[in-house]
Structure 1
Amino acid sequence: MNRVLLIATLLVGTACTAQTNPASPNAQQPGAAAETPTMPQPPGATDAVPNNAPKATVANVPATTGRANLADSKPPFAITTLGTFDSPFAMAFLPDGRLLVTEKGGTLKLRETDGGIVGVAGVPAVETGGQGGLLDVAVAPDVADSGVVYLSYAESGAGGPALALAKGRLVSKPVTCVRAPCYPVVSLEGVQVIWRSGSNGPGGQFGSVIAFAPDGKSLFLTSGERQRFTPAQDPGQALGKIVHLTLDGKAAADNPAYARGGVEAMTWSSGHRNPYGLVFTRDGRLWEEEMGPKGGDELNLIEPAKNYGWPIVSNGDNYSGQPIPDQPSRPDLAEPVLWWNPVISPGGMIEYTGAMFPEYKGSLLIGALSAKALIRVALDGAKATAVDQWAMGARIRDVAQAPDGAIWVLEDGGRGSNGALLRLAKP
């Protein structure tokens, strides 16, 4: 079966139904695997979230380079609203130009190429509230053949929620068209939880961003430290880490500590706080950005086995005002390539590679929540320079590149509010 025909069979369907599709977002599909992975539940995981990082054990050495804060500038785009969503978190394009969008409350939506929006059934039940809920969505590198889609989300468990990663096959089923505009009924089938962070308990900051390796044979997942500080430095906990997994959720064999087994076998890097952006650029480098505390948002060049310092060092301080030593205070820990203080609260991130804006090719585009901006960072190998901060007037949660090279962004609307999908194009 050729690629186009298979996309039509798995993803599009040939018949239609009414535009409103009241899919139950949390209905588990029949036949989903009963056996799911478990992860360590260390002592203290259910304790109350602490107010501050552990007290400093080294003298502060101030950071003097790498600060990336810019003044706002006017966006050089024609901006069009393409749809509205309820607290959207992430989006991913399918090969045929349709768009999957997660809503934190637990609903996965599919935007058709003509603008119609339908719900996708079969999404796992999620733990909502705070920073939890349905989080990232990513389509498998071979989605045109397999139809496989990955979801990360906060999952309920004994002691509290934890980050989970699941995958399922996106299927469209033909029905009789009653009234135009009409769309197929779409669902996730064969949904399996393939990875769990463990350390169930209180706290937000799940991280949760998925990125596939350049060869498409493995994936990377960011796991936040859940506002608990010290797990980011605990090799036995998956919190505060970037993990490298097979497409079925197992430890990838080329991980630095694969031979040690357990969480260490899965760990690619450690010392992360709340990573919301992760992308491989065309030169094979892996870039990550994460939210700092009161100051200290970071853009990092991720390398295997490196420790990025949280909560031992940060170019920000605790929310209480208690200081944390700056990154140069511990030269054995990796420093960010760029950092922001005051914070921008970075959301999603892409490398722009399209034709509509040739002047931006090879740049990182970063959504900013508290800064209400879209930020462009120019790359030159391992070097990065913040060059534009476009004032969007709204919290930008995620960024995607459309097939025609336009830039699409999700406005999350703030806590508990509606959000919007915006298209940024040449004026």
Structure 2
Amino acid sequence: MKNSIKALCLFVVMTNLSCGQKSENEVNMPSETSFTAELIVDGLEIPWGMVFLPDGSMLISEKSGEIILFKDGQKSTITNGPEVYNRGQGGLLDMELHPDYENNGWIYLSFASEEGEDKGGNTAIMRAKFDGNSLTDKEILYKASPNTTKGQHFGSRLEFDDQGYLYFSIGERGERDINPQDITRDCGKIYRIYDDGRIPEDNPFINESNAKKAIYTYGNRNPQGMVKHPETGAIWIHEHGPQGGDEINIVKKGANYGWPVITYGINYSGTPITDITEKEGMEQP
């Protein structure tokens, strides 16, 4: 059940034309389905992430900042969660257990945080422990900067790979022409760190002057899906794009995923972003 809930079912149809540039989009609905839906937890508002604990109970993050424990059919609120910047798409976001959770007890959370000198917020990564009623031993492992009052594109999915590295996403925070293609700036990136927040010595930009050393890929827009492939161990991401610009990408060390230089999407107003859908040195959407 755990793997089936978290697994991504990815179907991608690529054509020579941008989906966003078609006058009409077609949606093919299945005539039959091989599954049924069952209500497990009700009364939620904007649940964003969830993890299953070893005893089968579940922690659920609400965008508002509330952490819910669902156990034996009952919901309770967990205290001492992080203070969140609950604006637009920001708030309390993803949750992930350490691969060795049963021995070390670490839970990882991503959330929009106001920490910093600038007004607004940006994505932060925290680890903490859970004593059954509240979070303890809270540690901030990464905080993107600068803050901004823009309410979009916090990214913030979390995933561990087979080597125990923690990957997380941060969206470009609505600054598409400033952040994604600049490795000296946070936002519009996939990051890789050790489980305690240290920067791996073999990260791709570790020796680049002024670069953000935790960056693993760049040119990303707003990755809000992330999963480890169960067979290959590769990290896959789903990127929210503009109209016709959603992407499924496999994370590659140092790769540039092109946003906003190349894309199949167009602005929500219907105006074009670019006619370029591929460029040397960039991963094609």
Match for residue 266 of structure 2 among 307, 311, 317: 317
TM-score by length of 1: 0.58
CA–CA distance in structure 1, aligned partners of residues 211 and 167 of structure 2: 14
Q: What is the root-mean-square deviation in Å for CA atoms of aligned residues?
A: 2.1
Instruction: Show the counterpart of 2:183.
Output: 235
Assess if the C-alpha contact under 8 Å between 1:206 and 1:223 holds in 2.
Answer: yes
| Residue identity matched to 2:262 | V
Query: SS of the residue aligned with 2:242?
Result: coil
Assess if the C-alpha contact under 8 Å between 1:147 and 1:171 holds in 2.
Answer: no
Assess if the C-alpha contact under 8 Å between 1:209 and 1:277 holds in 2.
Answer: yes
Match for residue 77 of structure 1 among 27, 31, 35: 35
Q: CA deviation at 1:109?
A: 0.8
Unaligned ranges ≥5, structure 2:
1-13, 20-24
**TM alignment of 1:27-426, pairs within 5 A:** 64=16, 71-73=28-30, 74-84=32-42, 85-112=44-71, 114-157=72-115, 158-172=118-132, 186-203=133-150, 204-216=152-164, 218-230=165-177, 231-260=179-208, 263-281=211-229, 282-326=231-275, 328-336=277-285
CA–CA distance in structure 1, aligned partners of residues 271 and 222 of structure 2: 19
CA–CA distance in structure 2, aligned partners of residues 326 and 288 of structure 1: 24
CA–CA distance in structure 2, aligned partners of residues 331 and 260 of structure 1: 21
CA–CA distance in structure 1, aligned partners of residues 38 and 119 of structure 2: 44
| Residue identity matched to 2:94 | D
Query: SS of the residue aligned with 1:81?
Result: coil
Assess if the C-alpha contact under 8 Å between 2:161 and 2:235 holds in 1.
Answer: no
CA–CA distance in structure 2, aligned partners of residues 103 and 335 of structure 1: 34
CA–CA distance in structure 2, aligned partners of residues 243 and 301 of structure 1: 14
Assess if the C-alpha contact under 8 Å between 2:161 and 2:234 holds in 1.
Answer: no
Deviates more, 1:62-71 or 1:129-138: 62-71
CA–CA distance in structure 1, aligned partners of residues 80 and 211 of structure 2: 29
Assess if the C-alpha contact under 8 Å between 1:197 and 1:239 holds in 2.
Answer: yes
CA–CA distance in structure 1, aligned partners of residues 140 and 209 of structure 2: 20
Q: CA deviation at 1:193?
A: 1.1
Deviations for 1:384-408, whole angstroms, at most 9, x for unmatched residues? xxxxxxxxxxxxxxxxxxxxxxxxx
Assess if the C-alpha contact under 8 Å between 1:63 and 1:327 holds in 2.
Answer: no
Name the % identity. 33
Assess if the C-alpha contact under 8 Å between 1:316 and 1:326 holds in 2.
Answer: no
Q: CA deviation at 1:332?
A: 2.8
Q: CA deviation at 1:326?
A: 4.6
Q: CA deviation at 1:237?
A: 1.0
Name the one with the larger strand percent: 1
| Residue identity matched to 1:229 | R
CA–CA distance in structure 2, aligned partners of residues 119 and 326 of structure 1: 49
Higher relative contact order structure (alpha carbons within 8 Å, sequence separation ≥ 6): 1
CA–CA distance in structure 1, aligned partners of residues 157 and 140 of structure 2: 16
Q: CA deviation at 1:250?
A: 2.5
Deviates more, 1:305-314 or 1:70-79: 70-79
Q: CA deviation at 1:118?
A: 1.2
| Residue identity matched to 2:183 | P
Assess if the C-alpha contact under 8 Å between 2:237 and 2:248 holds in 1.
Answer: yes
Q: CA deviation at 1:262?
A: 5.5
Deviations for 1:362-392, whole angstroms, at most 9, x for unmatched residues? xxxxxxxxxxxxxxxxxxxxxxxxxxxxxxx
CA–CA distance in structure 2, aligned partners of residues 275 and 127 of structure 1: 19
CA–CA distance in structure 2, aligned partners of residues 255 and 156 of structure 1: 27
User: Whose Rg is larger?
Assistant: 1
Deviations for 1:119-146, whole angstroms, at most 9, x for unmatched residues? 1111011011210100001111111011
CA–CA distance in structure 1, aligned partners of residues 211 and 52 of structure 2: 31
Deviations for 1:318-371, whole angstroms, at most 9, x for unmatched residues? 1232212355342431013xxxxxxxxxxxxxxxxxxxxxxxxxxxxxxxxxxx
CA–CA distance in structure 2, aligned partners of residues 89 and 304 of structure 1: 27
| Residue identity matched to 2:56 | G
| Residue identity matched to 1:330 | K
Assess if the C-alpha contact under 8 Å between 2:18 and 2:244 holds in 1.
Answer: no
CA–CA distance in structure 2, aligned partners of residues 211 and 145 of structure 1: 18
CA–CA distance in structure 2, aligned partners of residues 326 and 250 of structure 1: 40
Query: SS of the residue aligned with 1:83?
Result: coil
